[in-house]
Structure 1
Amino acid sequence: MTEFALSAQLREESGRRASRRMRRGERLPAVVYGGGEPAQSISLEHREVAKLIEDERAFSHIISLKTDGAAQDVVIRDLQMHPYKPRILHVDLQRVKAGQQILVHVPLHFVGEAECVGVRLGGGQLHHILVEVEVSAPADRLPEFIEVDVAKLDKGQTLHLSDLQLPAGVTMPALAHGDDKAVVNVSAPRGAAEEAPTEEGAA
């Protein structure tokens, strides 16, 4: 497994003014909470966080957070972005321990698209309805992604959450609540459902 790490500094100042000064200095405010310990207000280097999240696996991996020489394991719980600039405004990090069951969103990786029966032979169009799913898994066994094989998907067919193959120990809360969302489907070719013109007035 790839190791992900961040370096943090404890911060004493809080509030909007302090946060604005921090961001002007290319750092961003963040908070660490959970694990039965008090929440900590910290600051992170914006460039370091921006580089980290370029890898989608960072959102479903344990991150080693080093603060004043001490390290703790965390996961990204929330990321606040600027509404129109490529800037991170705030990060929420949750402490985790090996074996602890946690919820994370993991990306879906679609495979077999070039061989998809409904597209290649049926002339249909493949539609990705979901690009990520929420899973529950032990913190030390978080999947980096969930693979979705669409090679045998025919036109008019849909794959749902219940059709996905999950690693051992990984579950999807949505299914426990009866919410079997559609993940991907193949629509019929445009115009295929149109009825043939009637021959009114034919002898």
Structure 2
Amino acid sequence: MTFEIQAQARAAQGTGASRRLRNSGKVPGIIYGGSKTPVAVEFDHNSMWYTLKDEAFHTALVKVIVDGSAEQVLLRSVQYHPFKQLILHIDFQRVDDNTSVELKVPLHFKNADVAPGVKLDGGTIGYILNEVVVRCAATKLPEFIEVDLSEVGAGNASVHLSDLKLPAGVELRSLVRGEDLAVATFNAKKGGD
């Protein structure tokens, strides 16, 4: 999924300028990376707030149009106010086909209700990880990684990182370091009826 958002270049920088920008309903940000110089930009706060609510936006290629010029970027960082519903700053990194990135990708679990351990034995599934760090080309970044729990039960008590089916060109950062962590485990029913 590709997102397209509008931005305007901003000349004024610093704490006071950023505060005035936020008070006028805008969000300060920056676009950096690639062979171009970093560009200070501003976004409409409300539209950016609701765009950030979409889980796919955090791992998608984003087309930012800055004063008529398009940039292909990835979301790298968002700073929120500690208790107000307010975005303080947002960072984007320029990417192309040759850019390799490491990014957190959410896990989507399926078939937990039909797993033999749950359906036949009355146990439960315990979720240990809800996201993983992947390394790949920016243009091959998956929106999410699906975890199939249909085989989890007493004989197969857990799903590990090595059990995940990854798209071509995507590798898990934990497996690169040699750690095969559990993603989800089967918890047997305790006691009698």
Coarse TM-score class (shorter-chain normalised): over 0.9
Give yes or no for the alignment of 1:107 onto 2:98.
no
Structure-2 separation of matches of 1:64 and 1:99: 17
- 1:123 matched to which residue of 2? 122
Check whether the contact 1:80–1:90 (CA below 8 A) recurs between aligned residues. yes
TM-aligned CA deviation for residue 188 of structure 1: 2.0
Counterpart residue number, 1:183:
183
Distance of 1:108 and 1:41 partners within structure 2: 33
What CA distance in whole angstroms lies between the structure 2 residues aligned with 1:89 and 1:165?
37
Q: In 2, Cα distance between the equivalents of 1:190 and 1:35?
A: 56
CA drift at 1:85: 2.5
Q: Which runs of structure 2 are paired with 1:21-100 in the superposition (5 Å)?
A: 21-100=20-99
8 Å contact kept, 1:59–1:104: no
Partner of 1:20: 19
Name the counterpart of 1:199: none
Separation in 2, partners of 1:7, 1:112 = 39
Specify the SS of the correspondent of 1:165.
coil
Q: Distance in 1 between matches of 2:22 and 2:190?
A: 50
Aligned to 2:37, what secondary structure does the other structure show? strand
Paired letter, 1:189: K
| SS class of match (1:71) | strand
Please report how far the alpha carbon of residue 15 of structure 1 lies from its aligned counterpart in structure 2 after TM superposition: 1.9
CA shift for structure 1 position 14: 1.8
TM-aligned CA distance change 1:120 to 1:16, over 3 Å: same
Within 1, Cα distance between the matches of 2:123 and 2:162?
A: 23
CA contact (8 A) 1:116 1:154 kept: yes
Query: Could you tell me how far 1:3 is from its partner in structure 2?
Result: 2.6
Q: Partner of 1:139 in structure 2?
A: 138
CA offsets per residue over residues 20-66 of structure 1, 9 Å max, x none? Answer: 11111111111111112222111111122122222211111110011
Superposed CA RMSD = 1.6
Q: Distance in 2 between matches of 1:39 and 1:100?
A: 17
**Structure-1-length-normalised TM-score:** 0.88
* Identical pairs, percent: 39
In the alignment, which residue of structure 2 is the partner of 1:197? none
Report the CA distance between 1:191 and its aligned residue: 4.1
Distance 1:99 1:111 in 2: 33
| Inter-CA distance 86–191: structure 2 relative to 1 (3 Å threshold) | farther
Q: Secondary structure at the match of 2:153?
A: coil
For structure 2, list consecutive stretches of 5 or more residues without a partner in the other structure: none
* Bigger radius of gyration among the two: 1
Counterpart in the other structure of 2:152 = 153
CA distance in 1 between counterparts of 2:166 and 2:124 reads: 26
Shift of 1:98: 2.0
Gaps of 5+ in 1: 193-203
